[in-house]
Amino acid sequence: MGPFQPQVLSPEEIRALLTEVSNQEVEQARAHSLVPLKREILYEGVPASAVVRDTSGKEYIDCTSQAWTLSVGYCHPDVLAAVVEQMRHLTHVRYGYPTIPRIKLINRLPQLFPGDLKKVVLNNQGGGTSIEAAIKLALVNRPGASTFLVSHRGYHGSTLVTLAASHYMPGLARFPGWGLDHFVKFPYPYCYRCPIHREPRTCGLACLELVERAIRYGANTPVAGLIIEPMQGAGGQVPTPPGYLAGLKEICHRHNILLIYDEAQTAFGRVGAMSAAEYYGVAPDILVLTKGLGGGFPIGAVLAREDLKGFTLVEEHTTFGANPVAFAAALASIEVVLREDLPARARRLGERATARLRQMQEDIPLIGDVRGPGLFIGVELVEDQETKTPATERAAALVEMAMEQGVIFDLDMPDVVKGLPTRRNVVKIKPPLVITEEQLDRALDVLEGTLKQVAQFPPEMLQMIRQQMVKEAMPS
Ligand SMILES: Cc1ncc(COP(=O)(O)O)c(C=O)c1O
């Protein structure tokens, strides 16, 4: 009997378990789920593509890659083949044990990124756990220092510590995270809405001075690390301007602070290079990876400079943190990214898409800003090009209407002002890097059509959308 012949259940039972669901089961799960569940029940992805079907058979072009993760597309056959092969041998081992995929992944990852990032730790929990590992690594390497600098509107996860390190959304999160006293926030270099109202062409990166001040005056204990997304994802698709990261690195090193990049969203090709570190030509001391690394399987990784001290087993381990199946998926996914040259594909498709979006901007004043690079695209919607008032309600309506038409978009994180969500106005376009030109064109057609529609919505309609938004976002 082969390893895939069930011994207790019949193949039909297993198939029914995973492919059939009644309305009653759906309602019961919705009633009992402790977290809200979206309306559409996703059922199957078209292999190695940007297309997914729901249980009714409706197809969607996915411009979210399911949390910016499926860079090689849904159910990539090479990833599946690696996973199946690995499952024939082992599906779980305890954390300390090396396995063949773990060994190969520890050796492979440092080859992909600039700098001297030779040390590696892996997990199967993802970005938040990896950020916590990076924080712990900085604590190990900067004894006595326990403060971390993090940016305004950064997002690093929803564990209690990474919530504290991230943009706070009071009300939407009814707890602010733990360890708040360990994090000092500085303004992110968001040039479209410059925190110090300078002109990007002539500012000379004056905002770097704010980081100096945060170090000098913001922290009562020495700073161990500075954590930054080199291009902010959830915060609104905001790339740091040229020269910023080099300046940041100089400041960090002058103050003996470890520079930590959170490349959860930007690595493995999405920005038109293997990483934002490569794109900007500035390597960090510690690099956090997840999402696109796993080809759809749960994984996180931290890379660190070779001279940094590592962990004891007590300091860094989890029960499921050494999953050989996910590591096998990552090994295959990395090769697909490289052999298909997905960074170049992201660059080419990204340039094409942003050029079209900038053209759209000429006709549609609702588009305030179009940002790349690669397939890391943000379209910021504003009520007025001068005042840049965020078109939050129109953006929310657009996402709903596009979904009806079979295109999945998503938005940035909201600000919360006086207990109400506001400024959530950046449409994110981050499809699998294998998306075809036709699919991307179709997604942009839908975007253009819906933009034109929502631009016409009268104030009463916006008021209604706002009420609905608040109802959905806030706890009942
Ligand atoms: C930049 C960044 N860091 C960290 C995380 C958290 O990752 P996870 O949800 O796997 O904990 C995310 C998730 O979206 C992210 O975008």
Contact 41, 52 (CB under 8 A): no
CB of 324 closer than 6 A to ligand 1?
no
CA 270 from centre of chain: 11
- Specify the ligand 1 atom closest to the Cα of 157: 6
Q: How big, in percent rounded to 5, are the helix, strand and coil portions of the chain?
A: 40, 15, 45
- Residue 23: which residues within 8 A CB-CB, separation 6 or more? none
The pLDDT of residue 143 is 97
CA–CA separation, 279 vs 256, rounded Å? Answer: 25
Model confidence over 198-243: pLDDT tens digits? 999 999 999 999 999 999 999 889 999 999 999 999 999 999 999 9
Q: Render the burial of 433-445: b for 16+ CB within 10 Å, e for the rest.
A: bbbeeebbebbbe
- Answer whether 140's CB lies under 8 Å from 315's CB: yes
Residue 1 has pLDDT above 60, yes or no: no
Strand 119-123, strand 300-304: pairing: antiparallel
Q: pLDDT higher for 3 or 278?
A: 278
Residue 113 has, within 13 A of its CA and on its CB side, a CA count of 33
Distance CA 444, CA 37 (A): 27
- In angstroms, rounded to a whole number, what is the distance separating the alpha carbons of residues 126 and 300? 4
| pLDDT at residue 276 in the model | 98
From 262, 275, 288, 293, the mutation candidate for ligand 1 (largest count of ligand atoms within 8 A of CB) is 262
Structure tokens at 415: 């600000």
pLDDT at 331 over 80: yes
Closest ligand 1 atom, residue 154 Cα: 1
Joined together, the tokens standing for residue 240 give 């740091």
What would the mean pLDDT of 247-272 be, rounded to a whole number?
Answer: 98
**pTM summary value:** 0.97
Q: Residue 81: which of 285, 331, 292 has the closest Cα?
A: 331
Q: Which atom of ligand 1 is nearest to the CA of 291?
A: 10
* Domains of the chain, each with CATH number or no CATH: 9-68+341-476 (3.90.1150.10), 81-339 (3.40.640.10)
pLDDT band of residue 163 (cuts 50, 70, 90) is very high
What φ, ψ does residue 163 adopt, rounded to 5°? Answer: -60, -40
Does ligand 1 lie within 6 Å of residue 230's CB atom?
Answer: no
- Predicted confidence at residue 337, as pLDDT, reads 98
The predicted-structure confidence for 110-141, as pLDDT tens digits, reads as follows 999 999 999 999 999 999 999 999 999 999 99
CB of 234 closer than 6 A to ligand 1? yes
Q: How far is CA 50 from the centre of its chain?
A: 17
Stretch 383-398: mean pLDDT: 97
Ligand 1 binding pocket includes 298 (Cβ within 6 Å): no
Does residue 183's CB lie within 6 angstroms of at least one atom of ligand 1? no
Residue 386: exposed, middle, or buried by beta-carbon count in 10 A (0-12, 13-18, 19+)? Answer: exposed
Residue (of 463, 373, 416, 345) closest to 153 by Cα position: 416
Distance of CA 374 to the CA centre of its chain: 15
Does the beta carbon of 128 sit less than 6 angstroms from any atom of ligand 1?
yes
Please state the atom number of ligand 1 nearest to the C-alpha of residue 131: 4
In this structure, are strands 147-151 and 415-417 parallel, antiparallel, or unpaired?
A: unpaired
Instruction: Give per-residue pLDDT as tens, 416-431.
Output: 988 888 999 999 999 9
Return the best residue to mutate from 71, 161, 265 for the ligand 1 pocket (most ligand atoms within 8 A of CB).
265
Strand residue runs (E) in 393-440: 407-408, 410-411, 415-417, 420-422, 426-429
426 strand-pairing partners? 380
What is residue 475's predicted lDDT score, i.e. its pLDDT? 78
Rounded distance between C-alpha atoms, residue 276 and residue 263, angstroms = 7
Report how far residue 448's alpha carbon sits from residue 442's, in angstroms, rounded to the nearest whole number. 10
pLDDT score at 470: 86
Cα 453 to Cα 395, 397, 437, 466, 468, distances in angstroms: 11, 10, 24, 17, 19
Q: Whose CA is nearest to atom 1 of ligand 1?
A: 264
**How high is the mean pLDDT of the chain?**
96
Nearest to 170 by CA among 1, 418, 388: 418
Task: Report the separation in Å between the CA atom of 128 and the middle of ligand 1, taken as the mean of its atom positions.
Answer: 6
Q: For the residues 348-374, what does the mean pLDDT come to?
A: 98
From the list 169, 29, 34, the residue with the least C-alpha distance to 473 is: 169
Q: Ligand 1: does its nearest atom lie under 6 Å from the Cβ of 228?
A: no
Q: For residues 126 and 295, is the Cβ–Cβ distance under 8 A? A: no
Q: Which atom of ligand 1 is nearest to the CA of 158?
A: 11
pLDDT in tens, 26-42: 999 999 999 999 999 99
